[in-house]
């Protein structure tokens, strides 16, 4: 429907605008509101070269960009009309944030311990479950939530400041349905 197209256009424009305004983000190759599979739309970022290690800044930028769709829906349509369209985005940011906390050593309180793979420890785990305490698990959960919340706030700050760009890009997507990276630049 026209309403779904409009919602998708703002959702995808939200991803793109945040992606264009965070540090160390891969260039945006394309944005579309043509449904494909279970996705109603897509913003595709492609790295300029192979990258084996990723910085803390780049992970934070990826999380903010992923939250951009949800934030755009909220800002344009209101909190009561936000959809479940951000479910895969939320899954993605949760996975990134959890890896940042449990595998990459990006949380000072937890040090440089791999909490994600400790149940597959050297001697095996005969008791099942993880080898860390409930207190450690709470720190992990709190840190994951804090990282995702920070990305959400960054997306909200960018989309509030760049509200005109968000509207312009959403209109461009409604009109043309698919825009390349250079066309997005021209639209803005």
Q: Which residues are tagged catalytic?
A: 12
Provide the CB-side half-sphere exposure for 160 (13 A, CA). Answer: 7
Query: What residue has token string 């209101």?
Result: 78
For residue 88, give the nearest of 32, 147, 140, 12 by alpha carbon: 12
Handedness of CA 152, 57, 53, 102 (dihedral sign): negative
The answer to whether residues 159 and 153 touch, using CB atoms and an 8 Å cutoff, is: no
Provide the CB-side half-sphere exposure for 50 (13 A, CA). Answer: 1
**Nearest-angstrom CA–CA distance, 166 and 13:** 6
The answer to whether residues 40 and 117 touch, using CB atoms and an 8 Å cutoff, is: no
Burial of 6 (0-12, 13-18, 19+ CB in 10 A): middle
């Amino acid at each position: 429907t026209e309403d779904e197209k409009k919602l998708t256009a703002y959702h995808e424009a939200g991803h793109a605008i945040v992606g264009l305004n965070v540090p160390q983000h891969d260039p945006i190759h394309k944005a579309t509101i043509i449904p494909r599979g279970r996705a109603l739309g897509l913003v595709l970022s492609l790295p300029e070269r192979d990258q084996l290690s990723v910085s803390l800044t780049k992970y934070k930028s990826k999380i903010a960009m992923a939250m951009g769709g949800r934030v755009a829906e909220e800002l344009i349509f209101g909190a009561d009309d936000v959809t479940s369209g951000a479910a895969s985005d939320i899954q993605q940011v949760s996975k990134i944030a959890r890896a940042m906390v449990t595998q990459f050593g990006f949380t000072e309180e937890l040090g440089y311990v791999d909490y994600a793979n400790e149940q597959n420890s050297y001697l095996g785990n005969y008791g099942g479950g993880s080898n860390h305490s409930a207190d450690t698990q709470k720190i992990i959960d709190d840190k994951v939530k804090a990282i995702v919340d920070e990305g959400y706030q960054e997306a909200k700050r960018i989309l509030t400041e760049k509200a005109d760009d968000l509207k312009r890009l959403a209109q461009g997507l409604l009109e043309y349905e698919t825009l390349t990276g250079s066309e997005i630049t021209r639209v803005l």
